[in-house]
Structure 1
Amino acid sequence: MAKNFIYETMYILRPDLGDESVDQAIEKYQGILKDNGAEILETQHRGKRRLAYEIDRHREGIYIQMNYRVTGAAIAAMERAMRLNEDVIRYLTVKQTVEAEEAQA
Structure 2
Amino acid sequence: MRSYQSVLIVKSDLDEAQVDRVLEKITEFLSKNNGSILKAEKWGKKRLAYRINKSRFGYYLNVYHTCESLKVPALEAAYKLYDLILKFLVIRLTDKQLELAMEHEYEVEAEEKKRSHVR
- TM-score, normalised with respect to structure 1: 0.84
**Inter-partner Cα distance in structure 2 for 1:20 and 1:91:** 20
Letter in 2 for 1:10: V
- Give the one of 64, 69, 86 matched to 2:66: 69
Structure with greater contact order relative to length (CA < 8 Å, sep ≥ 6) = 1
Identity %: 30
Deviations 1:4-53 (A, max 9, x none): 11100011101111221111111001110111111321011111111111
Q: CA deviation at 1:61?
A: 0.4
Which one has a bigger Cα radius of gyration?
2
CA RMSD of aligned residues (A): 1.4
Map 1:2-81 to 2 at 5 A.
4-81=1-78
Bigger share in helix: 2
The size of the alignment, in residue pairs, is 97
Unaligned runs of 5+ in 1: none
**Inter-partner Cα distance in structure 2 for 1:77 and 1:33:** 10
- TM-score, normalised with respect to structure 2: 0.75
